[in-house]
Amino acid sequence: RCGAARTTPFIRNSILSEKSGFTRDFARAISSSFCSSSVSDETFASSSCASGFSSSEKEDLETIRRRNFPIRTVHVFEKQQQRRKKTTMSSKAKEKEEEKNSIPVTVFVNQKLMDSKPIERLRGMKFDRLKIDCVSDENDGGDDDDDFADNALGEKEESVLSSKMASSESSSSMMMKTKKISAVGWWFANTDALSKHMEREQMTMMMKTTKSGGKEEKEEKCKSGDEIVWTHSASAGVDHLLKHEAIQTHGSVMTNAKGAFSASLGEWAIFASMYFAKEVFNMQRAQREKVWKRFQVDMLKGKEMLVVGYGDIGRSIGKRAKAMGMVVNGVRSKKVIEERDREVVSEMFTLQELEKAVETADYVALALPHTRETENVVGVKVFGKMKSSAVLINVGRGASVDENALCDALNTGKIRGAALDVFQTEPLPESSPLWSIDEAKLLMSFHSADLTSDYHDLAMDVFVENLRRFDQSGGKTDDLINKVDKTVGY
């Protein structure tokens, strides 16, 4: 009531004290009224705007009214409320618009990875248009690819997918007018989850087209699956996903994590070569037996490394072999040495020339994907053409090697040894004859050659790069990296 601006801090601090019980905004509104040089003679009794306050604030207003405080206090506070309400309404409208224009990306995540740092990183990322939704497996474990055992689809996952399906069906008539694109990601989860999600999406598309057109249009749309426009695999190999017809035949662009694990697999191939060249098994045996025994060892320099499957992983093996002084030859679908490989590769063969290619090789490193053409491609005929001093190394897919023929080749001395990180059946059954082969002839690791401490971070780096490209293009797939040709399987 004194109207002096210099008293405002004192008044504000007083009415903000614990005893006063005033809210901060209410106190600020009251104290700001005393900053004016001219104070209105109108009182709170004539104000009708007090009805917008809470019950406690109304009591405070009544106290102020009895003390004949200026009405400007109410006006200031009312304006603050109006600005806050306008801001809230504006934010809600903005959120609604962003929701309308957002592109949903559903990521199916292995349950035990839901709290991992890469997934936390993904959740914390901000995109202009993408809305990331991480969906977990209910059970521990995930797909049989890479590092996780396959498990049945959890009830929770079924419930989530069913609710999404129901939501899609209920909103299908609205989606008829404005088709909304989406994307899905697979993060070492059960592959059935992704397959069922894509099946449901195709069914939804069929329902939508049934309402908008005839049978021919319905079937065409159902096959195209053009609502989900992009599918991403967290692993480099995609055969575990393509075994599902709903995924293999879906019209969406598929990408993978090619390149994320190539360095570690390249190192493992060199390590496996050194294992045999340096007689590591004999060193370990002598150490266990406490026997001082010297061995003649070999060098990799000057030896021939044949890389079968000269893609990204094969290229990583070739570069490291070349750095060790080895002669590097390759096998790929086309008998062409790319410009970037000319300093490394001496000669390139096709897969049909594999028997010829292995004849002079000291080390044969397999980095093949699993396709119809590569299944059991290394069998009796190939082992029969290899040098008796040659070593087979497999960091690609176990399906590319006939394991019965391999056991026979090792036991009969057709080849010197083998180093396997992958197998036809994983985990390797106890009944497999591979377990009984001596360590001097066989080195085994269990699909862990690329299982480094930053394994999932490397996979996430590739996924994030594609998410950024997808986001910046407004949902277009033209600029995505690591696209997979689903007809050939890689």
| Structure token pair of residue 203 | 């069914």
CB atoms within 10 A of CB 480: 19
Do the Cβ atoms of 305 and 273 come closer than 8 Å?
yes
- Find out whether 420 and 442 touch, Cβ atoms under 8 Å: yes
Contact 348, 335 (CB under 8 A): yes
d(CA 258, CA 484): 10
State how far Cα 391 lies from the chain centre. 35
CB 394 within 8 A of CB 421: yes
* 30 Cα distance to chain centroid: 54
Helices (H), ranges, 370-435: 380-385, 403-411
Give buried/exposed letters for 268-299 (b at 16+ CB in 10 A, else e): bbbbbbebbbebbbbeeeeeeeeeeeeeeeee
Biggest CA–CA distance in the chain, Å, is 111
Q: How many CB atoms lie within 10 A of CB 130?
A: 19
Phi, psi of 110 (to 5 degrees): -60, 135
CA–CA dist 362, 458 (Å, integer): 32
Please give the backbone phi and psi of residue 489, each rounded to the nearest 5 degrees, phi first: 95, 10
Question: Residue 228, class by beta-carbon neighbours within 10 Å (0-12 exposed, 13-18 middle, 19+ buried)?
Answer: buried
The Cα 186–Cα 190 span in angstroms is 9
Residue numbers annotated as active site? 397, 426, 447
CA 165, CA 160: separation in Å to the nearest integer?
Answer: 9
Which element (helix H / strand E) includes 442? strand 442-444
Contact call for residues 13 and 44 (beta carbons, < 8 A): no
239, with CB counted inside 10 A (0-12, 13-18, 19+), is: middle
